[in-house]
A and B are shown apart, each in its own frame.
Chain A
Amino acid sequence: MLWETVLFGLIIVAGTVGELCVARAMKKVGEVTDFRPVALIRVILSALQVGWMWLGVALMAVAFFALLGALSLENVSLVVPVTALSYVAGTLGGKIFLGEKVSSKRWAGVALVCIGVTLVFIGRK
């Protein structure tokens, strides 16, 4: 159980911080308006020039291997919803590090998601 908790913690924390780094990098790249393959490759290349992207990808790789470990121990229908605990971390991170405004309505939605995740965990049998 301790090992599973460590794996879930890694998926949530490394995954969320990794995503925040990627989000930060993509905001630096700017809005993508051209979706042709050549243009998309250019977007990827310019994203790779942002340090945040590399940090983000490294953290997401850590989260990926933790996910593989967790999936070897538990059902997909438990593991994936439990990782939704990153909602709290993600919304807080978006607010603190990216300066995004989070309305009370959005907080309410995030709270509902958290309750749902708790129920999914309780329904483990």
Chain B
Amino acid sequence: MKTSAGLHFKTFLLILLMVIFGPLGNVFLGKGMRGIGAVTSRAPAALLPMLGQILRSDAIWLGIASLIAFFLAYMLVLSWADYSYVQPASSFAYVVVALLGHLVLHETVTLTRWLGVLVICMGVLVVGQTPPRTTEHA
């Protein structure tokens, strides 16, 4: 079992990429959907034209590209690190999302919501102190 500094650095680097591209993707998607309008209907006749609008939105495609970058980093890190380590460790992305939502999309982020984000961060710190791999693989 590898527990070298290299494995930890590799893990850190890829989680950093996830934390950047994941939120960026979500913010782009949010921007795109805001331009398209609320999806309230479940009727195919109403959803299909909306799908057309979604596929023609630049912001949506930028979001998809960011999420592909996120997904690639995610797949790679999962090839050696535990899912139950990677998922909590990458949750720092929630801070980035709240920050970008506020700065880029001008969303109102209340004090309670920031407090929630802070508590999520504390959770992340606790989780980050646990080892990246607990199972042996042949």
Which B residues are CB-close (under 8 A) to A40? 72, 76
Q: Identify which of B87, B108, B117 contacts A19 (C-beta below 8 A).
A: B87
Contact-residue bracket for chain A? 35 or more
B39, A72: Cβ atoms closer than 8 Å: yes
- Give the shortest distance, in Å, between B8 (CB) and chain A (any CB): 14
A103 touches B36 (CB 8 A): no
Hey, which chain A residues are within 8 Å of B113, CB to CB?
Answer: 77-78, 81, 119-120, 123-124
A55 contacts B by Cβ under 8 Å: no
Point out the residue from B29, B91, B101, B135 that lies within 8 Å of A68, measured CB to CB.
B29
Chain B contact-residue range equals: 35 or more
The reply to whether A80 and B79 contact each other, CB–CB distance below 8 Å, is: no
A43 touches B79 (CB 8 A): yes
CB < 8 Å neighbour of B88 from A27, A35, A113: A113
Enumerate chain A residues within 8 angstroms of B122, measured Cβ to Cβ. Answer: 112, 116
Judge whether A76 and B105 touch: CB under 8 Å: yes
A46 to chain B, nearest CB (A): 10
CB-CB < 8 A to A86: which residues of B? 87
The answer to whether the Cβ of B37 comes within 8 Å of any Cβ in the partner chain is yes
Inter-chain contacts of A78 with B (CB < 8 A): 113
Contact present for B88 and A110 (CB under 8 Å):
yes
Q: A77-B113, A106-B88, A123-B112 are in contact. Are A29 and B79 (CB under 8 A)?
A: yes
- Does A45 make an interface contact (CB < 8 A)? no
Q: Given A73-B38, A101-B134, do A81 and B123 touch, yes or no (CB 8 Å)? A: no
Q: Is the CB of B75 within 8 A of A31?
A: no
Query: For residue B37, which residues in chain A have a CB less than 8 angstroms away from its CB?
Result: 72
User: Are A32 and B33 CB-contacts (below 8 A) given A84-B94, A111-B123?
Assistant: no
> Which B59-106 residues have a C-beta within 8 angstroms of A?
60, 67, 72, 74-76, 78-80, 82-85, 87-88, 91, 93-94, 97-98, 100-102, 105
Q: Are A123 and B115 in contact (CB under 8 A)?
A: yes
- Residues of chain A with a CB closer than 8 A to B67's CB: 64
Q: How far is the CB of B117 from chain A (nearest CB, A)?
A: 6
Contact check, A94 vs B117: say whether CB atoms are below 8 A apart.
Answer: no
Q: Does B46 contact A (CB under 8 A)?
A: no
The 5 closest A-B pairs by CB, nearest first: A123-B112, A119-B116, A112-B123, A116-B119, A94-B84
Interface CB pairs A-B, < 8 A, 8: A43-B79, A72-B38, A80-B26, A80-B94, A81-B116, A87-B87, A87-B91, A109-B123
